[in-house]
Chain A
Amino acid sequence: MKHLLFALSWLLLGDIVWADTSPLTFVRSNVERVVAILENPDLRGETHKRERRAQLERITEDFFDTQELARRSLGQYWRALSPGEQTEFAALFVELIKQTYLDKLDVYNNQGIRYEEEIMQSPTQAVVRFSVATDKGPLRVEINLISGPTGWRAFDITVENVSLVRNFRTQFQSILQSHPPQHLIAILKERIHGPNR
């Protein structure tokens, strides 16, 4: 019983524990969680793809501030969406990120990760820089984080100077310049659920 309560308190206090961690610790611990899944022999191969994917999806949901991620991917056009559309768009956008990028993690092959620095841009915003060793040389990665009630969460990933969110923003804004928000939402749905996904 005591152990159960202890375990339960850890689960309930999970967010508070995250709130006390530094941005670098937050990024590092999540990267280590991902690496542990990818290196786990029980989760390797095509047969365990679904289970591996489910675990990676949970980390993605813990790692990102989905509302902030979605808001920044639209920039000034975020306000053009009704609250209902904003919620729908945020859920679809995170689904798109999962669908587009999680399978790419399967190419991970024990590449070394070197944590370089943590930059506090303000008390609530930070950047964590690290590099991943690849055959083509070190890949420079930056994670932008924001502090909220549940601690640090990521809202952008920049690889070799190219921000993921900004790249989406460029394309989404171009669509919203000539179409209503529902059109963008329909495109996202088609991309996620359509035959070409």
Chain B
Amino acid sequence: MARIAKSIVLVCTLMLTLGACAAKHAPAPSSPLAQEDYVIPDPLEPFNRAMFRFNDWFITSIFAPVRTVYVGAFPPDARRGFSNFYYNLATPVRVANSLLQLKVDKAFAEIVRFALNTVFGSFGLANVTRDIAWLNPSPEDFGQTLGQAGAGHGVYLVLPFLGPSSLRDLGGLVADSVAHPLFWYAPLYEAAVPLRIHDRGNALAQYFEEYQRTKKEAFDPYLSFKDIYTQYREGLVRQ
């Protein structure tokens, strides 16, 4: 059963990846001063806006009270520890994508970071490399690998529960999920989904206030978050 599920995910990844690759590559602005800003095509805007409203409802009505309890139960150090652990666990994904982009220095930094945090940071719960700049490279994922290879975003997507994405980055997300140790390490296979949900929930709990503030400050929250996503992802591809 698990093998069938993996095969389905692999096929979906391939389809999404090819779809994103086939999409016309829209050039990013040549400099941060450029007035012609790159915008991810948004032909599904009505659907995306509905999904944005759904996610916002979920975050403010369902997640917020759960977060209050969660934050009360786990102090900031514990939540940061979870976050460090999951980030450390996902090192193989970042190493693979660094190598795919021929960024050997980043792959090396990720491996050293992983070794130090696993051995001296209680299996990654503590980030002992936090203050060492070269051991904190910007993260690489498969969406960025596709971007480096010249693939455009395709179309903008707002995913239920997961938020802003694009056709290219959705393909990347699925590919990275397949490359994640939780997908392949049998003893953790059954726990993979709960652990991934906890990872996302813990991250959202951490950034909840920033989310609320950004939404409040925006004139059009949907457009603001779409632009933040676009800029952030384009910046990562450039790095």
Known: A136-B206, A161-B234. A170 touches B224 (CB 8 A): yes
**Interface size bucket, A side?**
20 to 34
Number of residues on chain B facing chain A (CB within 8 A):
30
Known: A135-B76, A137-B130, A171-B224. A162 touches B232 (CB 8 A): yes
Question: What mask results when residues 3 to 40 of chain B are scored 1 for a CB within 8 Å of chain A, else 0?
Answer: 00000000000000000000000000001110101010
- Complex Cα distance, B80 from A137, in Å, reads 11
Residues of A within 8 A of B235 (CB): 160-162
Q: Is the interface of A mostly helix, strand, loop or mixed?
A: mixed
A187 and B32: CB pair below 8 A?
A: no
B234 and A171: CB pair below 8 A?
A: no
A169 and B37: CB pair below 8 A?
A: yes
- Complex Cα distance, B220 from A142, in Å, reads 25
Is B122's beta carbon under 8 Å from chain A?
Answer: no
Is B100's beta carbon under 8 Å from chain A?
Answer: no
Residues of A within 8 A of B80 (CB): 135-136
The listed residue (B37, B133, B206, B217) touching A166 by CB distance below 8 A is: B37
Known: A75-B35, A160-B232, A161-B236. A170 touches B217 (CB 8 A): no
Known: A161-B235, A175-B219. A170 touches B227 (CB 8 A): yes
Q: Which chain A residues have a beta carbon within 8 Å of chain B's beta carbons?
A: 72, 75-76, 100, 114, 121, 125, 127, 131, 133, 135-138, 142, 144, 156, 158, 160-163, 166-167, 169-172, 174-175, 187, 191
